[in-house]
């Protein structure tokens, strides 16, 4: 297999290749003065299996990925795998207001049309590891909204559990297959290795009930307790976190979530936990987007750590082995 890395590389493709007998491919990527992106495949890929490793932090990254995938197809690649460690737009998987685009579905359809296989890490709307037909998921979210459910009602439905039910009832469903890898065990092992003798004193906290499964799996690996905070989503970008009666006095707390974007939810959670008497607060996530930087975490946490699905100062956990095993 030939592995291709996009521009603004964090070296993830090279690390993945080092785990397996993969060859690194060559691309020429540049940006014109009007900001249009130019892509050229320099390696011979005819009748060869290829993989493109490219996280999509912003819109330019998405366009670049699509151009690379399309160019590989034009050059005769036998099989094309899109490896997208961080896949953006996946939070736009439900409609909170009528007329909204299901942006997650749109992006996945574009990538699906230009590749044979899609691999990602902790896709935001999938809370389990495995292979899923996302087309069924989007059919489901659309149908529930058509029954005039409020946005809050979405929190009471386990859409992931219902996907197989929809697949079984409708054999004519379109296919939009995603292979979702789980990096939470890798994150948990990082913290477990740091605290060895004091692991039982740690409490893993999910910032909301939706992340509870992640916290539970991490706690099992670390060998400690876990719990969650009560979060109510007021709109697509506004949340309210309520205090629960947590026994956190003089405990070491690890807050875990799949991604941190603005950091508002996590910082609010850290403040709630601090008021509960926690001795130490560490924050860990898979995807460190940090759209507003990381300075806000300096006053609310003792350590901030994320994986290298995105390149950030806090990227101290490597997921290249996880991805290499999937390839």
Question: What CA–CA distance (Å, rounded) separates 255 from 269?
Answer: 8
Query: Exposed, middle or buried by CB within 10 Å (0-12, 13-18, 19+), for 151?
Result: middle
Range of lowest pLDDT (36-40, 116-120, 247-251, 258-262): 247-251
Residue 77: how many CA atoms within 13 Å on its side-chain side?
A: 27
Q: State the chain's mean pLDDT as an integer.
A: 87
At 146 the pLDDT is 45
Marked catalytic residue, from 78, 175, 201, 231: 231
Model pLDDT for residues 121-174, shown as the tens digit of each residue:
999 988 789 998 888 778 777 765 544 545 445 555 565 666 665 555 555 557
> What residue spans define the domains of the chain?
2-181, 184-308
Q: What proportions of the chain, in percent to the nearest 5, are helix, strand and coil? A: 35, 25, 35
Range of lowest pLDDT (76-80, 115-119, 208-212, 315-319): 208-212
DSSP category for residue 212: H
The yes-or-no answer to whether 2-181 and 184-308 have a common fold is: yes
Q: Which two tokens stand for residue 299?
A: 């006053």
Model pLDDT for residues 170-186, shown as the tens digit of each residue:
555 578 899 999 999 99
At 94 the pLDDT is 84
The alpha carbon of 237 is separated from its chain's Cα centroid by a whole number of angstroms, namely 18
Topology at the third CATH level for domain 184-308: Rossmann fold (3.40.50)
Q: Mean pLDDT over residues 43-68, rounded? A: 98
At 147 the pLDDT is 47
At 100 the pLDDT is 85
231 is catalytic: yes
Tell me the CATH number for domain 2-181.
Answer: 3.40.50.2020
Q: Mean pLDDT over residues 61-71, rounded? A: 98
Question: What CA–CA distance (Å, rounded) separates 59 from 48?
Answer: 29
Treating both helix axes as pointing N-terminal to C-terminal, what angle do 184-195 and 212-222 enclose, rounded to 10 degrees?
A: 40
């Amino acid at each position: 297999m030939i592995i291709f890395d996009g521009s603004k590389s964090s070296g993830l493709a090279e690390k993945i290749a080092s785990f397996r007998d993969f060859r690194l491919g060559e691309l020429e990527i540049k940006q014109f003065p009007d900001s249009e992106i130019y892509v050229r495949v320099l390696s011979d890929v005819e009748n060869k299996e290829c993989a493109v490793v490219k996280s999509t932090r912003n819109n330019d990254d998405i366009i670049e990925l699509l151009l690379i995938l399309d160019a590989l197809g034009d050059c005769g690649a036998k099989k094309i795998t899109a490896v997208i460690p961080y896949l953006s737009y996946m939070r736009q998987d439900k409609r909170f207001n009528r007329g909204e685009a299901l942006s997650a579905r749109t992006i996945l359809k574009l990538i699906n049309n230009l590749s044979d296989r899609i691999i990602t890490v902790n896709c935001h709307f999938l809370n389990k590891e495995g292979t899923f037909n996302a087309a069924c998921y989007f059919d489901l979210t659309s149908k529930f909204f058509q029954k005039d459910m409020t946005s809050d009602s979405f929190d009471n439905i386990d859409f992931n559990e219902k996907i197989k039910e929809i697949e079984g009832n409708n054999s004519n469903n379109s296919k939009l297959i995603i292979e979702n890898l789980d990096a939470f065990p890798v994150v948990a092992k990082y913290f477990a290795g740091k605290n060895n003798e004091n692991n039982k004193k740690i409490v893993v906290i999910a910032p909301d009930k939706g992340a509870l499964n992640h916290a539970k799996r991490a706690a099992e690996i670390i060998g400690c307790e876990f719990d969650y905070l009560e979060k109510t989503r007021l709109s697509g970008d506004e949340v309210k976190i309520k205090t629960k009666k947590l026994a956190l006095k003089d405990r070491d707390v690890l807050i875990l979530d799949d991604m941190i974007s603005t950091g508002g939810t996590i910082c609010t959670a850290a403040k709630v936990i601090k008021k509960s008497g926690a001795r130490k607060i560490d924050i860990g996530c898979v995807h460190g987007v940090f759209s507003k930087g990381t300075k806000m975490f300096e006053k609310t946490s003792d350590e901030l750590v994320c994986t290298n699905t995105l390149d950030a100062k806090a990227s101290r956990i490597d997921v290249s082995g996880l991805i290499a095993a999937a390839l």
